[in-house]
Structure 1
Amino acid sequence: MEYKIGMVTKGEVTGIQPYGAFVSLDEETQGLIHISECKHGYVKEVGDLLKVGDQITVMIIDIDEYTKKISLSLRALEDPQTFVYYPKKKRHYTKKGKIGFQSIRETLPKWIKQAKEDEKNQINSR
């Protein structure tokens, strides 16, 4: 079978390593689900999610052109709504005084005047 990026297929978990799980797609083809592609969020150990012999559905997210290694993902098939993300509190600090482009508006005439004076000085010094 010819596999393509984006294809969703079934496979069997054939091995678990600290960095991911190997999945047999057919008799001749095997791919790897990296630990970061197991699910949304933090995964401490792949063995907590998958076991050898599990029949799973995966998405092909990459195929190395030279080595023909296939990268797989379970995370790509998850509903992102099921992932709960708790963002850190954002603290907004405001500077008192000038806001936005106001300071540029005030200093631009000074810069233009200084540039004209510098230009005159260069012409006179020749």
Structure 2
Amino acid sequence: MEHRVKTGDIIDVTITGIQPYGAFASLPDQSSGLIHISEISDKFVRNVENFVHVGEVIRVKVIDIDHTTHQAKLSLKAVHLAKRKYKRAYKNQREKIQETPLGFYPLKEKLPEWIAQGVIKEEE
């Protein structure tokens, strides 16, 4: 017998069925679980089939287990959010910003001119 999954485990599951409220999955220990529609993505999910398909193997996080029915509550978004957080931590956001050597000085110089143009247009 394979080892039982525990809450907090990140495992590969096979999607066995799709309903409007979520997707059913088969776990490695031959138990089953549900990925509720609210646990599929951090964005709005109109159709579960846009994210998973029957027969597909995906990585999910076990968020709870009902020990009386041996049903697991699974989360796809928990795995994706963790990946995204680590990717952002290593990106250097400053590379995208191109600073001018003069800073805001050119804007300060043009501001009176722009204000005058705005006043003239309003009076016309």
TM range (shorter): 0.5 to 0.7
Equivalent in the alignment of 2:66: 64
Aligned residues: 83
Gaps of 5+ in 1: 83-126
Larger Rg computed on CA atoms: 1
Once residues 7 and 27 of structure 2 are traced to their aligned partners in structure 1, the CA distance between those partners, rounded to angstroms, is 14
Q: Which amino acid aligns with 1:62?
A: D
Once residues 39 and 19 of structure 2 are traced to their aligned partners in structure 1, the CA distance between those partners, rounded to angstroms, is 14
Deviations 1:58-86 (A, max 9, x none): 1000011322210000011113695xxxx
- After the TM superposition, list the runs of 4 or more consecutive aligned residues in structure 1 that deviate by more than 2 angstroms: 65-68, 79-82
Gaps of 5+ in 2: 85-124
Deviation larger for 4-13 or 24-33: 24-33
Q: Which has the higher helix share?
A: 2
Q: Matched residue of 2:54: which SS?
A: coil
Equivalent in the alignment of 1:49: 51
Once residues 17 and 9 of structure 1 are traced to their aligned partners in structure 2, the CA distance between those partners, rounded to angstroms, is 21
Residue 27 of structure 2 corresponds to residue 25 of structure 1: yes
Deviations 1:7-58 (A, max 9, x none): 0000111100011001111362111100000010210010111110111001
RMSD: 2.0
Equivalent in the alignment of 1:73: 75
